[in-house]
Amino acid sequence: MTSNVKALVLAAGLGTRLKPLTDRLPKCLVTIAGRPLLDYWVDTLFEAGVSEARVNTHAHAGQVRAFIQGVNDCGRLNVTECYEPTLLGSAGTVAANLHFADDATEIILVYADNLSDVNLSEMLAFHRSHDDPFTILLFRAPVPEACGIVELDGAGRVVSFEEKPRQPRGDLANGGIYIVSPDAYREMASSGAFDLGRDVLPRFVGRMRGWHYDGYHRDIGTHEALAEAEQRYRSTGRKRRPAVFLDRDGTLIEHVHYLSDPAQVRLVPGGAEAVRRIKDAGFACVVVTNQSAIGLGLITETDLESIHREMNRQLAEEGAVLDAIYHCPVTGSGGDRTLIEHPDRKPGPGMLLRAADEHHLDLGRSWMVGDMISDVRAGRNAGCRGSILVLSGPESRRHSEGGSPPFEVASDLPEAVDRILATVAAPHDTSLLMESHR
C-alpha cells in the first residue's frame, strides 16, 4: 500500500507570553536565526515525505496566509489553511478537520510553537513497527510539573498519563508531536473535547506507544526560550545549509526572450534530476532570476506567478522541488553585465543575501550556477564558495571565450551539478574555487 502521510499543524495560539512580539506577529512566524518557526516545520515535514499539511490560524491570520502562499508557490509542500474566527482548542481543531484523514495512511499532529531537530521519518518508522494506533513523542522534561507526564511499560506502551501533575512520577513528557492512524484521528475528532493533552490523550492510555527523543526539542513559549534558541542556532550553525543558487532562463528552463506564456516553459534536459540531486546531497536549491520584463511592463507579477507555477509543476512531475524562488523586476541599462546597477539585480548579490537570511543558508559553502556573466558575478559578490557558467544559454559562450575565464565552465546544469557534488565527495579539492578567490 502506498503511504499518504498528512500533517495537521497547530499554529493558531495567541502567544501571550511573547508579547509585545505577538502584538504584531503570529507566534508561529517568530523568527529564529533568520527563519520563521513555521518554516522549520515545513522543512521537517517535507523531509519526512508528508504529502499535505494543514495549518490552523487565528491571530494575524493574513500573515500566516501569505507565508503559506509562499510555500505553495515554490512547491516545497502542499499547505492548506483552516481559519478559526474563535479558537477551537487543539481537539476542536481536529474535530473541525474531520475529513482531513479520509485518504491518509497516517496523520502527524504537530504543535508549531515547538522548535525541534526531530527526524520525523524515524518516528514514522517506529510508529509502523507496532500495532497501536497512536505514537507520542516523549522527551526528558527539566520541569515535569509543567508538562504532561507519562509512564511506559516494558514494550514502550503508555500505561499512565497525567497533565501537569503536582507530584510527577517521572520526567518523560509529552512533546507535542503525535502520529496517529486515520481511525484514531476520527476518534479524536468525535470526542467532543477541547484540549488534546488534558481531554484526549488519557483516553488512549493502553493504546499508545511512546517514542523517546533525546535531541533538541523546546517549546518557544517565552522570551527566555526564544533567546536561548536564537543563540543556540546562531552559534552552532544548526539548520544552516549550503545552497545551490540557479539562474532560471537558459539554466533551469529553456531560454525564451521575455518569457510571458506558461505554455512556453520547458525544463532543460536533465533539469529536474539535477534539482533532485542537489537536494539529496543536502543543499537547498534556490532560483534567483532577473525579471526586467516586469519593469518594462511586458508581464505582471501575476503572469510571473503563473510561469513559476508551471515550472514547479514540471519539476514536481519528476519528483523535484525548489526551496524558494526570488526575482528582481528592476530593468537594466543593457550595457556592461558586470556592473551592479541595483543591489537585487544580478550581478548584485541582494537576492542571494536575502535568501541566505530568510532560509538560514551558509553562503560560504554555497554555489551559483547560471548562463550569464552577471550570474557568476552575483555568486562571487555574495561570497559564495564558487560559481559555474553553463553554456546552455544564448550568451554564455561569448562570456566563456577569450582564454581561460576566471570561473568554472560546464556544458549544462547536470554537468555543473556533477562538479559541485564532486566537491562534497572531496571537500579539500580547490580546483573549482577559482571564482571565489578572485
| Residues assigned a catalytic role | 247, 249
Q: What is each CA distance from 353 to 348, 365, 374, in whole angstroms?
A: 10, 13, 15
- Reduced to 3 states (helix: H, G, I; strand: E, B; else coil), residue 412 is coil
Give the E-state strand segments of 188-281 in sequence order.
Answer: 208-212, 217-219, 243-246
- Before 20, cis peptide (omega within 30)? yes
Question: CA-to-CA distance for 199 and 16, rounded, in angstroms?
Answer: 23
Structure-block grid coordinates of residue 284: 537547498
How many C-alpha atoms does 42 have within 13 Å on its Cβ side? 27
Q: What is each CA distance from 51 to 72, 103, 231, in whole angstroms?
A: 12, 11, 32
DSSP bridge partners of 182: none
Which candidate, 130, 186, 178, 180, places its Cα nearest to that of 156? 130
Question: CA-to-CA distance for 59 and 272, rounded, in angstroms?
Answer: 38
